[in-house]
Amino acid sequence: MKKRISLLLVMVMSLAMILTGCGSSSKSSSGSDAEGGEFRVGMECGYAPFNWTQSDDSNGAVKVEGNDEYAGGYDVQIAQKIADGLGKKLVIVKTEWDGLVPAVQSGKIDAIIAGMSPTAERKKTIDFTDVYYTSDLVMVVKKGGDYEKATKLSDFKGATITGQLNTFHYTVIDQIDGVNKDTAMDNFPAMRVALESGKIDGYVSERPEGVSATAANDNFAMVEFEEGEGFETSAEDTAIAVGLAKDSELKDKINEILKGISEDERLKLMDDAIANQPAAE
């Protein structure tokens, strides 16, 4: 009887040690995840060269959560550098433009890295980091059309022009006297289709997207305005920064990471993004 009890005690103690070991291992793994974790970034994945979708992970593209697509572009490269600096895994969450601010407010994503300008209106609802890119406004038009040789806003009198919904790109169209301001569109691929079909004569964009559009489609041309003849904008309009929830603890950390990315490196990242964009973008 004593031998049986002793044997039973040994078996129970051995089982307890095994379970304790498993629990310890599981806890360690979980602790590692907590220290690293994910950096969830929202973007449209349709605003080349800042961000787009493609079918593989070439040129540093990152898997889009929830489907078989990959996201590439300048924003993705900036997001990757930030994620690396934070010691986290980058997760791209494809989100419609109008859904980006609500997504970061609700915690569905940690940051918006989507070519978004830190305007005064947006600052009422979310915070922004330091600027990670600055650009100029241009007009994308049909090559060989009536507006390819335009050099000033007044050249677009009578033209049918649009811009992206809920962006300052659309509101600045009001600065063109006699313009036919068409209905705002949800995204840039839609505007490119409208321009190709002749529905519009042009759309307002930032220079990187204009370069991207003309590189992707030989039928497009980019109008850059002469000094003092283009759109009147504020510095915050043409700046691009990372959007965060109010009082996010990530703000100071991300600003430190951004300081470590030189201007030359940023320019190279944009040049590479323009060169690597899918032809269909």
Cβ neighbourhood burial of 77 (10 Å; 0-12, 13-18, 19+): buried
- Let me know whether 191 and 262 are in one domain: no
Residue 192, domain extent = 137-223
- Let me know whether 160 and 171 are in one domain: yes
- Answer whether residue 67 is part of any domain: yes
Q: Cα–Cα distance between 256 and 241 in angstroms, integer?
A: 13
Q: What is the pLDDT of residue 278?
A: 85
Q: Per-residue pLDDT for 93 more than 80?
A: yes
Q: How confident is the model at residue 135 (pLDDT cuts 50, 70, 90)?
A: confident
pTM for this predicted structure: 0.75
- Answer whether residue 12 is part of any domain: no
Amino acid identity, position 258:
L
Q: What is the pLDDT of residue 198?
A: 97
Mean local confidence (pLDDT), 59-78? 97
CATH label of the domain that carries residue 116: 3.40.190.10
